[in-house]
């Protein structure tokens, strides 16, 4: 698999899946531009893998969509063209419908919707001009239906999944690969505070290896683990009344 990509850009690279995927790619010969708000965490990651690969820390807050566009385009120019761009950064604070805090909803939209769209759209046209490239969005199995206490998060992931699919339809014939990743529950800092039982929970290294291999083989859509993916698919067939009763009091897959 080594040498599949020369350069990659990943958001949310300071922790969780993003951190693990940045290291996974770097160890396979990819020069990774790892972006996040916490520069010190990125620098620590770069030192951790420096004997095996290269991670270039990029301090960036994807909630600022305009800045995200500018930073990615600048890196694309300076490195001779990004070959892989991964929109991974996301947040998942609770947004219960009965106590909806607009500040929280707005923050989720800024990061998970505007930030992700800016990340994936920043150099899409340039990849088309080059006739190659790969765009990857880390969505969630929460995208399938609206979920209790996380109404904004599940909606944001539904947006991302459909945005990725539209990109795939448009860009595939133009030589650009597009991949949607739909993880179930993964043990990361983002899920550490969940008070409910997380079925089919995966360790982050396992999840990262699965995601990395799906990217390298050019999968158009990858949902995992299969047990959770099956439940997610079946849930879309349930009538609204059954769905409502089934998920009340339950949680949501996180990043």
Per-residue pLDDT, 141: 85
Active site (annotated) includes residue 5: no
The percent of residues in the chain predicted with pLDDT above 70, rounded, is 88
In a domain, 56, yes or no: yes
Give the whole-angstrom CA distance, residue 254 versus residue 141. 9
In a domain, 232, yes or no: yes
pLDDT digits (tens, 9 = 90+) for 103-116: 999 999 999 999 99
Which of the two residues, 29 and 4, has the higher pLDDT score?
29
In a domain, 252, yes or no: no
Catalytic residue among 5, 24, 33, 153: 153
CATH of the domain at 104: 3.40.50.720
Split into its structural domains, the chain has a count of 1
In a domain, 108, yes or no: yes
pLDDT digits (tens, 9 = 90+) for 37-78: 999 999 999 999 999 999 999 999 999 999 999 999 999 999
In a domain, 254, yes or no: no
In a domain, 120, yes or no: yes
In a domain, 253, yes or no: no
Expressed as residue numbers, the domain containing 152 is 7-247
pLDDT digits (tens, 9 = 90+) for 194-229: 545 566 678 999 999 999 999 999 999 999 876 766
The model's pTM is 0.90
pLDDT digits (tens, 9 = 90+) for 153-196: 999 999 999 999 999 999 999 999 999 999 987 876 665 555 45
Per-residue pLDDT, 1: 47
In a domain, 55, yes or no: yes
């Amino acid at each position: 698999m080594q040498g599949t990509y020369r350069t990659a850009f990943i958001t949310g690279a300071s922790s969780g899946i993003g951190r693990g995927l940045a290291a996974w790619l770097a160890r396979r010969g990819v020069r990774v531009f790892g972006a996040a708000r916490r520069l010190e965490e990125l620098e620590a990651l770069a030192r951790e893998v420096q004997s095996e690969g290269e991670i270039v820390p990029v301090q960036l807050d994807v909630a600022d969509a305009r800045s995200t566009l500018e930073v990615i385009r600048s890196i694309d120019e300076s490195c001779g063209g990004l070959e892989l761009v991964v929109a991974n950064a996301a947040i998942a604070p609770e947004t219960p419908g009965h106590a909806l805090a607009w500040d929280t909803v707005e923050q989720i939209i800024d990061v998970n919707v505007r930030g992700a769209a800016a990340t994936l759209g920043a150099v899409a046209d340039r990849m088309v001009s080059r006739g190659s490239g790969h765009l990857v969005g880390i969505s969630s199995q929460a995208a399938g239906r609206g979920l209790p206490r996380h109404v904004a998060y599940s909606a944001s992931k539904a947006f991302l999944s459909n945005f990725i699919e539209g990109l795939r339809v448009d860009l595939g014939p133009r030589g650009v690969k597009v991949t949607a990743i739909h993880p179930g529950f993964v043990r990361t800092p983002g899920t550490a505070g969940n008070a409910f039982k997380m079925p089919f929970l995966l360790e982050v290294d396992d999840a990262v290896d699965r995601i990395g291999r799906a990217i390298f083989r050019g999968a158009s859509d990858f949902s995992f683990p299969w047990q959770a993916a099956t439940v997610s698919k079946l849930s879309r067939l349930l009538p609204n009344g059954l769905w409502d009763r089934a998920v009340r009091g339950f949680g949501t897959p996180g990043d």
